[in-house]
A and B are shown apart, each in its own frame.
Chain A
């Protein structure tokens, strides 16, 4: 099977590589580009640990082919912090202890980031529905919800400051 040349932007950086069509985006990120932030959990699009942002939409990168991302603009957890300063969601997870083992955290962060872009002032129910595609087996979600609330508040304060 012949390789296909794909080019995309990942965390603001242009990337171009020849890949097998069957290469999944998560493997492209982790193995070809050494971006190991997004995790491989269930590999069946249930757990959300591999969530990345593709053209402004949350997507599970275990169920997306790298070749499908030709021309796409992708954001992974590595792209959230800017110049060494944590993004609002990262700060929220830190301050509110929104993680225990940390396995689900990269997916939770990228999904929460997008959720707050889509809905800057979500209710608790909207946060829970918004992260319903991300499984956490440690926290019981309570502190994750608090972390997202922290980030929402912080983003709003920054916007009005």
Chain B
């Protein structure tokens, strides 16, 4: 399969990339890791006249801690997240979760920013970003603006990002000591998307939940944050009864599309189950 014809641009600075996007308009698409876009182009689901490749802009890569925030460049590849000592120490949810994304070769090319900006509800980073309460930094002709992860996704392949904007950074506060976190993903095989997956960040105080964030993958037309379930958990111990109420609240928030991975009822049930498992895993890390 060969993609349709296009012109290729490889700017080396962010300003050049933003200028190119403004000049080329709707005919241009951003090329990040290319592991969603190129397959879509082969199938003619996407036929951009121009590709603007961000791979030659060094400032878009890297993981650092600055001003009390963890900042991940949007073009940072999955394997760099997997191997990051800073993330293992201060936001282990990311390396733990990335292990379940695609395979070693794809993780050498696939980027966190591409995974997010593509707007596919089956991608894993949107729900993880919601659980981390992350903020996305966007650059456009008018400069920089920030959007909370929870406000970014508008529908399948639809986000708050304008065609002439570039997602440049993912920012979030490091997880405090004694915070539990887990990403539990049900998938049929390596490289598959989730049938359902849950990202959890959890703090407990004297056996009761004091902070919880839950993000869900592939069970609605965007990743979603299970706010009702979070509210229900606050101040409670993780008893069987509470967990079963949480699963019900999670399921009520789901509206998955039926596909080869299962029908809506099955995927909804699995979203509840993955959330329970993620909560118990996260709680087990808390002393």
Contact = CB atoms under 8 A, between A and B. Distances in A.
Interface string A56-84: 01111001110110100000000000000
A2 B3 CA distance: 15
A67 B4 CA distance: 15
Nearest to B56: A70
Contact of B6 (A21, A24, A129): A21
B2 interface: yes
A133 interface: yes
B237 interface: no
A124 B231 CA distance: 43
Contacts, number: 81
Interface stretch (B98-106, B148-156, B163-171): B98-106
Contacts of B7: 1-2, 21
A129 B102 CA distance: 11
B105 A48 contact: yes
Contacts of B190: 132-133
Interface in A109-144: 111, 115, 129-133
Nearest to B107: A133
A111 B51 contact: no
Contacts of B10: 67-68, 70
Interface in A19-40: 20-24, 27
A118 to B, nearest CB: 9
B105 A21 contact: no
B109 A59 contact: yes
A43 interface: yes
B103 A21 contact: no
A43 B1 CA distance: 7
6 contacts: A1-B5, A20-B5, A21-B6, A22-B4, A70-B10, A133-B190
Interface of B: 1-8, 10, 31, 34-35, 38-39, 42, 51, 53, 55, 79, 102-106, 108-109, 190-191
Given A46-B191, A133-B102, 15 more contacts: A1-B5, A1-B6, A2-B7, A4-B8, A22-B2, A22-B5, A43-B42, A48-B105, A59-B105, A59-B108, A63-B34, A64-B38, A65-B38, A68-B53, A111-B104
Interface of A: 1-2, 4, 20-24, 27, 43-46, 48, 51, 57-60, 63-65, 67-68, 70, 111, 115, 129-133
